[in-house]
Amino acid sequence: MRKLQYSAGMVSKPFWFLEFKKVIRLLYEGRSFDEIKAMSTEENLFGVSKTYRAKEIFNGVTIRAKTFDADMIEIFCTSDLATTKIMALIAVMETDKLFFDFLYEVYREKIIIGTLELNDSDISIFFNNKQRQDDSVAKWKEYTLKKLRNSYQNYMRDAGLLSEKNEITPPLLDVTLERYLSSHNMDDYVKALTGVR
């Protein structure tokens, strides 16, 4: 994992799965990020009504897409829907340290102990702990933490890790993806998502 600072940036960025999928597919077809950037505004690649919104989506999705190497792009483009959603979530985990820590410290622990329900209090306790550990998180206002909690739940639902009733639904990782993660020193991602010790 990259050395990142904790951030609350997720509150303004949806999961953007369909947009992410379009960018990865274009990269797979040999397009460059510059070409995709031009397509996002000139051809309205993301189907939005405002140019600033297209740029915002492109920037947010590109940060995530740049975590994928050629092998990861190929796995994504040859996998089923459930696997591609997990892969999109892995790209988020790669770019958001706090979200990675949440999945590793809270989601994983819930699976390990067999309590397959995620409560608001679980997320609140996590944020309280981080506020004691990190000065930047300590400065965040309650409304930021509330929005972040909602974002975390939405991301997990969109990726298939959480039901609408907040029931934890650990994924069965595709063997090819799991081998890739293991061979790239990303075993902690496997543990965070599946609850493996």
Range of the domain at 85: 9-194
Helix (H, G, I), strand (E, B) or coil at 162: strand
Rounded distance between C-alpha atoms, residue 72 and residue 183, angstroms: 12
Q: How many independent structural domains does the chain possess?
A: 1
- In this structure, what are the phi and psi dihedrals at residue 162, rounded to the nearest 5 degrees? -145, 135
Q: For residue 136, is it within any domain?
A: yes
CA distances from 33 to 38, 96, 170, 195 (A): 9, 21, 33, 35
What CA–CA distance (Å, rounded) separates 159 from 169?
10
Give the three-state DSSP class for 105.
helix
Q: What is the pLDDT of residue 3?
A: 58
Alpha carbons 127 and 131: distance in angstroms, whole number: 6
pLDDT for 197? 79
Q: Is residue 114 part of a domain?
A: yes
Residue 4 resides in a domain? no
What confidence tens digit (pLDDT) does each residue in 149-170 have?
999 999 999 999 999 999 999 9
pTM confidence score: 0.95
**Residues in contact with 44: Cβ distance below 8 Å, sequence separation at least 6, in sequence order:** 54
Q: Is 129 part of any domain?
A: yes
CATH no. for residue 39?
Answer: 1.10.3540.10
What's the pLDDT at 129? 96
Q: Within a domain: residue 111?
A: yes
pLDDT along the chain (197 residues), means of 10: 78 96 98 97 94 95 98 98 98 96 97 94 96 95 95 97 96 96 96 92
In a domain, 2, yes or no: no
Do 47 and 55 meet the contact criterion of CB atoms below 8 Å apart? no
